[in-house]
Amino acid sequence: MAVTYTYEAPTDDETSVDVTFTDGTVTHQRGVNAVFTDGAYDADATEVRVAEVARGVENKIAVGVISQPEEATEEE
């Protein structure tokens, strides 16, 4: 299943974006470096970069390197 992702543009002096990736069963969050051109945030280039990372995340989910952690159970 294809991985989708969401993120917000960086604010203030942030240089990365926090991205949430999901394939519908596994959700994975990580930071991705934002792209700046001539000192200004470049939304199009950042989108390309995040899409590249998403392909890697998709592959890692497919081979089991990234998986959904098991729910912690409360011991009584």
pLDDT of residue 76: 52
pLDDT tens digits for range 18-43 = 999 999 999 999 999 999 999 999 99
Residue with tokens 């519908």: 24
pLDDT digits (tens, 9 = 90+) for 3-19: 999 999 999 999 999 99
Q: Dump pLDDT digits (tens) for 40-64.
A: 999 999 999 999 999 999 999 999 9
